[in-house]
Structure 1
Amino acid sequence: MSYYSNASQLYFDFVYDQYLNVHSESKYLLDLINVIDWSVVPNFIHKRGRLGYSNQSILKALFVQKVKGFNTRELIYFLRTNPKFAQAIGFDPINNFVPSEATFSVFKKKFDTSFLFEIIAHSIQKGIDEGIFDPNNLCIDSYPISFRSFFNNKKSHGKFMNQKEYYSRPIQANFGVKPVSNSKPVYDKHGNQKQSISYFGFKAHTLSFFNVPIFTFVSPASHHDKNYAFPLLHKTIDLLNLHGFNLLADAAYDVYDFVHLETDSIAFIPLRISSKKPFLFLSYCFSFLSS
């Protein structure tokens, strides 16, 4: 091979490396990771013995897992086959310094999730300060989380049994009700379209800036929405110091008193027919119009 061809090959390798540094998937993931402030999480908690893996590094790897939709084995394979990226977040696959499945599993069980709330709050506060998020309008709602189960299989309808008898171990999931989409109607045995159907699983309660979710709590499907509105609002107010906002929610979240009296804010929530607060709701409306 001539000197010219070697020089050309070296040039194209250089251009290819430069292109990957700017447009590669690893660059995109690192940009996402660098936007987040991980410093609220202590790197190491061990007081003696071998330090092991950094908490921040494992959290960054789990963040990549969520972004990419990997299972744990796929995540480990991704870290081992992308050594530059793995080194950038604190691992070293060349020296076999990558967590195992067991390490990730133990970390998830022992990690203090309160650190995650602080990470989320810091990132959201940064977005508020830069004018990306509008904290004046909040909304809260829930959505069903069902999973593959005997009780969610249409072929099993009419054959229901007690979940305590079906599952060998106790589980937190139970029965709840979810609305039926108009695009996928469901009919009863008389041919009438159903407005809602039962399901077996969980329910996610999310507080958001309209289309930007802030915090989410997960509960068994049968738990009432109102029970999770208060901890969501408390968490948001404590970590983001929000006051004077407008809250939009459905009738299940009956939190007029707390929103109006404790946060000096307005709650736009439709009243139930059985509600005993029509005059209180009108006073909220008048106070909002007069402000």
Structure 2
Amino acid sequence: MRVAIGIEYAGNAFQGWQTQSHGRTVQDVVERALTQIAQEPVKLICAGRTDTGVHATMQVAHFDTDARRPLEAWVRGVNSHLPTSVAVLWAVAVDDEFHARFSAEARRYRYVLLNRRIRPGLLNGRVGWTHGPLDEEAMAAAAGCLVGKHDFTSFRAAECQAKSPVRVMHSVVVRRQGDIVLFDFHANAFLHHMIRNLVGSLVFIGKGRRPVEWMGELLAERNRTLAAPTFSPDGLYLCGVDYPPRWSLPDGGRIIAAPQLLLP
């Protein structure tokens, strides 16, 4: 049978999602826990690989198994074998046509940025941080040009392996809640470091170091060296994946399940 699972994790406890020889990745620990319940090797396929330090309130993955277990065993049973920084939230039986990556219609990310004079203590590793005032209205205006189908070469990591730099950005929302500035991105897919590079350039604009029009110019130039440096991974969260309703995933895979303290 094929099972889809929703997973949340604190990315600063792991060295990324994708399995590594040292075994200290999210994929490694979840596969080991699944293997304990299935009593056979289990291989996970996820919707989107996250880098070291990047968190997830809703990562979606699937696996195939010959083991017959109640769905609750793939949740509470698996969680009993996981470290406290990662948890399976739900499990759903799906047909063989479901693929966590290729069936996904879009992904949602949120960047949580603390904007105050003093660095974070309680939220260290869970939020980005910049001191000095930010103009969220200027950043929101600059983000508007990102919506639509564009070549995002200027915001693509040099080691990105995607065949094409073209992505469709459905929406970008920038808003402030007290000392927290939230950046919400919704697109069909993202390039390696794309969001962190976008946030870095938006912060330049928010600080008045560049005009609002600069964002559109960067898109047109298609030159990574012209954009701002890559921003910290600390505040980046994968917040869900959009799937067609035929597979009946909880909220279509889009739940934002993290505490409101971090994601107001």
- TM-score class normalised by the smaller sequence: under 0.3
Q: Which structure exhibits the higher relative contact order, with contacts defined as CA atoms closer than 8 Å and separated by 6 or more residues? A: 2
Q: Which has the larger radius of gyration?
A: 1
- Structure with more of its chain in strand, by fraction: 2
Please state which structure has a larger fraction of its residues in helix: 1
